[in-house]
Amino acid sequence: MDAKLIGSIDIGTNSVLLLITVFDGKRLRRFVDEATITRLGEGVDATGKLSEEAIERTLQCLQTYANELSVRNVTIRDAVATSAMRDAENGSSFLDRAEAILGVRPQVVSGELEAQLTCNGALSGLEPEGKLTVFDVGGGSTEIIACTRIGNGVATLRNAVSLPMGAVRMTERHLTSDPPRAEELLALRRDVRRIMRDAPNISGRALIGVAGTVTTLAALIHNITPYDGNAVHGCLVGRDALGEATDELASMTIDERKQLEALDPKRADVIVAGAIIVDEICEAAGMQRLLVSDRGVRWGVAQRLAESETI
C-alpha cells in the first residue's frame, strides 16, 4: 500500500501533543512530533471546571495543529482528551469548539482506555519483556499499568488504574511557597503515598516511565539539550540520580528553574511535584532505575488508526 500520513492529538491536563506519522502498511515512522503546554486543567482540582483562559489557550493550540494537519493534507486523524476532561463539569462546550477546529470530535477516554493507549504507545520501539509496569505522570492524573509482554509483541494488561495525582494537581494542592518549604514537600509525598494505596502491586516489576515529566527529568539528568526525543527514548534513569535532581529542583525558585536549558519554562512550576510522584512510584516498585519512553497516548492513538486502515 502507498504510505499514508496519520495524525493523532493528545489533549492532556498540562500539555497538548501532536504526532504525525508515516504509515507504510507495516509500521509507523515519526514525521512530526510537537508538544505545547496549555495547562487546560489549571484550577480543575479546586473548581471542577475548565477556566475560560485555559480553554482559549488550548483552542489556540488546536487551531495551530489543525492548520499543520491541513497543510500536510493529513485526513486520517483523531484526538483524545484525558484527565482534565473527565473531571470538568463544562467539558462538552470545549469539545464542541474543538470539533469545529479539528474536524473530529475529541474522545474523552476512560482511565482504562487511556492506560491501554499509553501502554501500547510507550512500549513501541522498546525491547523490555516479562512483567512490566508502565506509568504516565500527567498534569491531573497518573496512569499505572501492570502488564506482561512476550518478546516484542503487544503487552497484555493485568491491572491498570488512573490515580488523581498529577504534576499540576499536586502542585496546586501542596506547593504554595517558592521554593517549596520542607513541610510542603513532605505533605505532598504523604498524599502521593496515600493515593498510591489504590494502585496495583507493582513490586519487582521493571518500570517504564512515559510523558513530559519523565522525559523532562531524563533530559535534565542526561543533559540532553536541545531536547531530542530519539535520544530520550530508551534511556535509563537511576534512582540516585532522580533523587539528586528532585532535591536540586526543589531547592530552586521557579525563576531559577526556568533558566535550566533542558526544562521547558512552562513546566518549571510543576516539575518538582512531578519528580516526587516519579520517585514514589520507584519506591513502590522497589526499583533502582527506570526505562524512559518518549512515546505514549499519541502513539497508541496512531497505532489504533493504522490498524483501522489495514482492516
Task: For each of the domains in the chain, give its residue range(s) and CATH number, in order of start.
Answer: 4-111 (3.30.420.40), 125-293 (3.30.420.150)
Specify which residues 131 forms β-bridges with. Answer: 148
pLDDT of residue 119: 84
**Structural contact between residues 10 and 17, judged by C-beta atoms closer than 8 angstroms:** yes
The answer to whether residue 199 scores a pLDDT higher than 90 is no
**Looking at the whole model, is its pTM more than 0.85?**
no
Separation of alpha carbons 185 and 280, rounded Å = 12
Separation of alpha carbons 195 and 193, rounded Å = 5
The answer to whether residue 26 scores a pLDDT higher than 90 is no
Comparing 85-94, 179-188, 191-200, which segment has the lowest mean pLDDT? Answer: 85-94
pLDDT of residue 278: 95
CA distances from 300 to 2, 156, 171, 267, 292 (A): 22, 14, 28, 24, 16
What is the DSSP track for 159-210?
A: EEEEES--HHHHHHHH--SSSPPHHHHHHHHHHHHHHGGGS---TTPEEEEE
Separation of alpha carbons 50 and 194, rounded Å = 26
Please provide residue 67's backbone torsions phi and psi, each rounded to the nearest 5 degrees. Answer: -65, -40
Model pLDDT for residues 58-97, shown as the tens digit of each residue: 999 999 999 999 999 999 999 999 766 777 777 788 899 9
Specify which residues 148 forms β-bridges with. Answer: 131, 156
Amino acid at 102: L
Model pLDDT for residues 210-239, shown as the tens digit of each residue: 988 999 999 999 999 888 888 999 999 999
**Structural contact between residues 66 and 100, judged by C-beta atoms closer than 8 angstroms:** no
Name 158's Cβ contacts closer than 8 Å, sequence gap at least 6. 146, 147, 148, 200
